[in-house]
């Protein structure tokens, strides 16, 4: 892979990310300054104690899991724009598959970045337009008739994506798929922490494929 392109993506990626962190921290700071409303530390700590142990772990796991899949530019961008599992990662996978490029190639890197950038722009614009037209849209979006469609986004997404990848790699897919189906049948409450199970599935798949690869079965 061309080093200068990679280096330049890292350089600009770091500048954009550092600016994003500064802006993100400035939001609550500016609220405090504008309204002279610095919060009591105990409430912030209580709130953080409720979410940080889980979400800090998930954040770190997500970076380690998704960075290799998304490529350099895609990672810098998607970790600022958020909504990874339900949007950015499937979007990047689909784009690379449709363009016929491998995630390990530089072509895969740029296609992934293009897909994530386009997805981020559209998502941001749709949310912004939705907020501005909320008076008109809210009754439609919250109508009981449409509720099943929005409740089933993940099955609709992973059904289509899954059939492509599983049919291409059935030998690798079998073990993690069987493990996850059995796990969720035994412990349905785990569906609220599916993010933590993604690296578990990945480790099982990598372990099985390593064994099959060593035995020349892949």
Partner 1 sequence: MDFSVNSGFLYAVTALVVVFVLAQSAFFLVKAARRARQLGITGQTIRKTVLSSALFSVAPAVAILLGVITLSKFLGLPLPWLRLSVLGALTYELPAATTTATAMNLSLSQPIADARAFSAIAWVMTLGIIPGIFLVLFGLKKIQGGVMSIKTKDPKWGNIFMDSMFLGMISAFVGMLFADIRSGVPGLIPIVVALISAAIMGVCGILIKKCNVRWLEQYALPISMLGAMAASIPVTMLMG
Binding positions for partner 1, 43-102, rule CB under 8 A: 43-44, 46-48, 50-52, 55-56, 58-60, 62-65, 67-69, 72-73, 75-77, 79-87, 89-91, 93-95, 98-99, 101-102
Question: Cα-Cα-Cα-Cα dihedral of 96, 100, 105, 110, to 10°?
Answer: -50
Handedness of CA 139, 160, 190, 43 (dihedral sign): negative
Residue in 135, 136, 152, 211 binding partner 1, rule: CB under 8 A: 152
Counting contacts by CB under 8 A, is residue 27 touching partner 1? yes
Counting contacts by CB under 8 A, is residue 206 touching partner 1? yes
The residue count for the chain: 218
* Smallest distance from partner 1 to CB 167, Å: 9
User: Which residues lie below 8 Å from residue 126, measured CB to CB, with a gap of 6+?
Assistant: none
Counting contacts by CB under 8 A, is residue 125 touching partner 1? yes
Query: Would you state the structure tokens that stand for residue 33, as one six-digit string?
Result: 């300054």
* Smallest distance from partner 1 to CB 186, Å: 10
Counting contacts by CB under 8 A, is residue 10 touching partner 1? yes
Residues 157-186 that bind partner 1 (CB under 8 A): 157-166, 168-169, 172-173, 176-177, 179-181, 183-185
Find out whether 71 and 103 touch, Cβ atoms under 8 Å: yes
Query: Would you state the structure tokens that stand for residue 5, as one six-digit string?
Result: 């392109």
Place of tokens 């890292």: 10
């Amino acid at each position: 892979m061309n080093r200068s392109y990679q280096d330049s993506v890292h350089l600009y990626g770091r500048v954009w990310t550092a600016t994003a962190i500064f802006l993100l921290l400035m939001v609550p700071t500016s609220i405090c300054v504008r309204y002279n409303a610095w919060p009591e530390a105990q409430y912030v700590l209580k709130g953080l104690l409720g979410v940080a142990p889980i979400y800090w772990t998930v954040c770190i796991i997500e970076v380690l899991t998704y960075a290799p899949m998304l490529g350099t530019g895609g990672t810098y961008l998607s970790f600022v724009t958020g909504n990874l599992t339900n949007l950015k990662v499937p979007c990047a996978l689909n784009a690379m598959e449709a363009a016929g490029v491998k995630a390990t190639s530089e072509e895969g890197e740029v296609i992934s970045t293009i897909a994530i950038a386009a997805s981020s722009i559209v998502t941001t614009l749709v949310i912004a337009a939705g907020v501005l037209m909320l008076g008109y849209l809210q009754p439609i979006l919250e109508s009981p008739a449409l509720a099943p469609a929005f409740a089933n986004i993940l099955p609709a997404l992973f059904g289509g994506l899954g059939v492509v990848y599983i049919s291409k790699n059935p030998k690798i897919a079998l073990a993690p798929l069987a493990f996850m189906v059995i796990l969720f049948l035994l412990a349905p409450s785990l569906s609220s922490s599916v993010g933590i199970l993604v690296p578990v599935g990945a480790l099982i798949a990598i372990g099985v494929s390593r064994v099959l690869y060593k035995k020349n079965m892949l």
